[in-house]
Amino acid sequence: MPEATSDPAPPGPRSAVRSLLRLWPYVRPIRGRLAGSAVAAVLASSMALLIPLVLKWMVDGPVADHDPSGVWLGGGVLLLLGLLEAGLFGLRRWLVARPLASVEASMRSALYGHLQRLPVAFHDRWASGQLLSRATMDLQILRMFLAFPLVFLVVNGAAIVLGFAILFSQAWTLGLVLLLPIVPLVILCSVFEARYSLAARSAQDQAGDLATVVEESVLGVRIIKAFGRHRSQTEAFRAKAHGLRRTELHKARLLADIWALIMTLPEVAIGAALILGIMQVSDGELSAGTLVAFLTTALALRWPVESLGFLLAISNESATAADRFFEAIDAVEADASGLGAQPAGALDGVRFEDVRFRYPDAPENTPDLLHGIDLHIRPGETMALVGATGCGKTTLTALIPRLHDATGGRITLDGADIAVLSRERLRELVAVAFEEPTLFSATVRENVAMGAGPGGADEAAVLRALDTAQCDFVARLPHGLDTQVGEQGLSLSGGQRQRLALARAIVGSPAFLVLDDPLSALDVHTEALVEAALREVLAETTALVVAHRPSTVMLADRVALLSEGRITAVGTHHELLTESAEYRHLMSGDSERSMAR
């Protein structure tokens, strides 16, 4: 099976605006509050821009006329404007805080649900750390964008337009001086945006790779300790961490450069306007109050202008986060267009008809892993599947529940093509137990009941399944059925995990059962007990069992031999021992070690 990679190659040049517009379906439910917060912020900024006009009135009026009462009145108006500004900004934050948390939660829920519906082939290609970073870090970046940069791109734009209108109404010649930096600022910002978006994408991808290293180190801590590989893992972590650090420093340098230029050019323009304004006041062409109001307005516009670099940086990171989020969302789900068809009335068991399969990323010139598979498992029959290492036994069993989709031919369950069955219905009909059992951070009861489908299983059914799988150890656990088994079930032994996985497979009394060497981790005594109980379960279902040793083969009514991607022989155990030299070799004691999956 192909190893997971970090993710597909990053896309080429893209429009940040187009990327962010894709968030609209998630933002639409809170559009009213978001618009209200923008209006509140625009009004708050307008209060700040009214302050210079009040100062102009005070300087040219009460101050020039030595009118204390007018000064007190002006001071009261300034206090009122300041209070209104603070109140409106508080209202803006209140309007969006809770709704934006809901947007993030809905996006995370949509991503998680979509990932659950994607085929196994998708998860083979994508590293779990990359998916984790998209569901956590990237969504946090998007929430921050919606809460602050999105609103303030609108607010600061409106403030700049309104501010320059006020500046030109006061002294249009000085206003022209302040407009001079606009052209170089636009050019610098476009260059910055292109460079910063690449750095932001690299940083977010590297953070996902780092998360993958951490996750693998935690899950594989026993292997790392057993083989003394902690130093090599530490080096791998350090290399990823240093790579991310270099990218983040590169981002910081880009942001520092653009911010320095964005701050310097307007300051130079304000200085030039100040000198020109003083000359006009001295010549009597401009009043002192007008110059004070002009400069105060210009200084009030410093933050909207200087924040452009910061807002562009966050907007580009957010566009990159949106791209990464939708890369996963856009991944094609496995065909779920089936109409929920029921198997045909006449029981026919499981049929493979000219089935072929190859992994999507297999080299073009290599043959299919499986080709021309023809096999019929009769209703109520247990078929053992045997073959040498790497012949495709596990892959073949994964085709029945459509963990992988066949690339040719068809598979039927009681006459119904699994390609037209809805996945929900298919998973109700087929239960699976893998050689490598996977348990979840939940109770024993929850782990076993998971195999019963959406309807769940009552305690009696759970207890019966545990008894069949010889899970008597559950009674000795600290809290019995309610004992938390821990992440990956690592608090249990390999044999205990395998027995719980077997109980999960049979708890729902499935019509079709697929078992991938379910007894490999059991000791001889426990294996004999489980086999005896399993015979009763297999007698009531149609089953395909991957067998790696003769004792498991003896559970089956017939045996199929898989060799070089094809079924080369089918018969009873004794028939194949007589007729097939390859089967005799596989069943010999000397070759049992070669029959690992």
pLDDT band at 596; cut points 50, 70, 90? very low
Q: Tokens for 386, please give them.
A: 């045997």
Q: Please indicate, yes or no, whether residues 554 and 471 belong to a single structural domain of this protein.
A: yes
Q: Would 219 be classed as within a structural domain?
A: yes
Q: Which of 181-185, 239-243, 476-480, 523-527 has the lowest mean pLDDT?
A: 523-527
What average pLDDT is seen over the chain?
80
498-528 tens-digit pLDDT: 788 888 888 888 889 888 877 766 677 777 7
**How many CB atoms are located within 10 Å of the residue 476 CB?**
8
Which of residues 329, 364, 385 is at a domain's end?
A: 329
Residue 437 CA to residue 451 CA, distance in Å, equals 13
pLDDT value at residue 151: 76
Q: pLDDT value at position 455? A: 64
- Residues 268 and 369 both lie in one domain: no
- Asked if residue 6 belongs to a domain, the reply is no
What is the DSSP track for 7-63?
Answer: -SPPP-S--HHHHHHTTHHHHGGGHHHHHHHHHHHHHHHHHHHHHHHHHHHHIIIII
Average pLDDT over residues 67-88: 79
- Strand 382-387 versus strand 542-546 pairing type: parallel
For residues 86 and 98, give the distance between their C-alpha atoms in angstroms, rounded to a whole number. Answer: 20
Query: Is 65 contained in some domain?
Result: yes
Does residue 406 lie within any of the structural domains?
A: yes
pLDDT tens-digit readout, 272-308: 888 888 888 887 777 777 777 777 777 777 777 777 7
Measured torsion, CA atoms of residues 495, 501, 502, 506, in degrees rounded to the nearest 10: 160
pLDDT at 185 over 80: no
pLDDT tens track for 192-201: 877 887 888 8
pLDDT above 70 for 590:
no
Res. 1: pLDDT tops 60: no
- 68 close to 108: Cβ distance less than 8 angstroms: no
Same domain, 303 and 355: no
More confident of the two residues 188 and 229 = 188
Q: Which of 278, 296, 329 is the last residue of a domain?
A: 329
- Average pLDDT over every residue of 584-592: 67
Look up the CATH number of the domain holding residue 550: 3.40.50.300
pLDDT given at position 487: 66
Query: Does residue 166 sit in the same domain as residue 121?
Result: yes
**How far is residue 487 from each of residues 109, 267, 293, measured CA to CA in Å?**
22, 58, 65
Q: Looking at 36-40, 529-533, 564-568, 573-577, which range is the least confident one?
A: 529-533
pLDDT at 592 over 50: no
- How big is the CA angle at 46 (ends 42 and 49), to the nearest 5 degrees? 140
Q: Is 70 helix (H, G, I), strand (E, B) or coil?
A: helix
pLDDT, tens only, 91-103: 777 777 778 888 8
**Highest averaged pLDDT of the listed ranges 220-224, 331-335, 398-402, 454-458:** 398-402
> 287 with 202, same domain?
yes
Task: Return all residues near 110 (Cβ < 8 A) that are at least 6 apart.
Answer: 26, 329
Predicted TM-score (pTM) above 0.75: no
pLDDT, position 3: 43
Tokens representing residue 339 in the block: 């109409």
Find out whether 189 and 107 touch, Cβ atoms under 8 Å.
no
Cα separation, 86 vs 109, whole angstroms: 35
Amino acid letter, residue 425: R
Q: Reply yes or no on whether the pLDDT at 39 is more than 90.
A: no
pLDDT band at 42 (very low <50, low <70, confident <90, very high): confident
On whether the CB atoms of residues 548 and 592 are closer than 8 A, the answer is: yes
> In this structure, what is the dihedral angle of CA atoms 8, 200, 184, 187, given to the nearest 10 degrees?
10
One-letter amino acid for residue 62 of the chain: P
228 Rama sector, left if φ>0, alpha if ψ -120 to 50, beta otherwise: left
Q: Are 179 and 273 found together in one domain?
A: yes
Q: What is the pLDDT of residues 380-422, one digit of tens each?
A: 899 999 988 788 888 898 898 888 888 889 999 988 888 888 8
Residue 591's pLDDT is what?
42
Q: Both 300 and 403 in a single domain?
A: no
In this predicted model, what pLDDT tens digit does every residue of 437-492 receive, in sequence order?
A: 778 878 888 888 888 766 667 788 888 888 888 888 888 888 888 888 866 666 78
Residue-range definition of the domain harbouring residue 557: 350-595
Residue 102 falls inside a structural domain: yes
Picking from 440, 446, 475, the residue whose alpha carbon sits closest to that of residue 462 is 446
Residue 460: count other Cβ atoms within 10 Å of its Cβ. Answer: 8
Final residue before a domain boundary, out of 329, 361, 382: 329
Strand pairing class (566-571; 558-563): antiparallel
89 Cβ partners below 8 Å, 6+ apart?
A: 40, 41, 44
Distances (CA, A) of 147 to 33, 103, 151, 411: 11, 11, 7, 51
Closest CA to 519 of 470, 563, 452: 470
Same domain, 372 and 308: no
Query: Is there a domain that residue 305 lies in?
Result: yes
In a shared domain, residues 360 and 307: no
| Domain count within the chain | 2
H helix or E strand, kind and range, residue 370:
strand 370-377
Could you tell me the CATH number of the domain that includes residue 249? 1.20.1560.10
Q: Pairing between strand 350-357 and 370-377?
A: antiparallel
Same domain as 434, residue 319: no
**Residue 429 falls inside a structural domain:** yes
Same domain, 285 and 417: no
Whether the pLDDT of residue 337 is over 70: the answer is: no
CA distance 416 to 396: 18
Looking at residues 339-357, what average pLDDT do you find?
A: 73
Nearest to 18 by CA among 318, 299, 290, 338: 318
374 and 279 in one domain? Answer: no
4 inside domain: no
Share of the chain residues as helix, strand and coil, in percent rounded to the nearest 5: 65, 10, 25
DSSP 324-337: HHHHHHTSPPP---
pLDDT of the residue at 561: 92
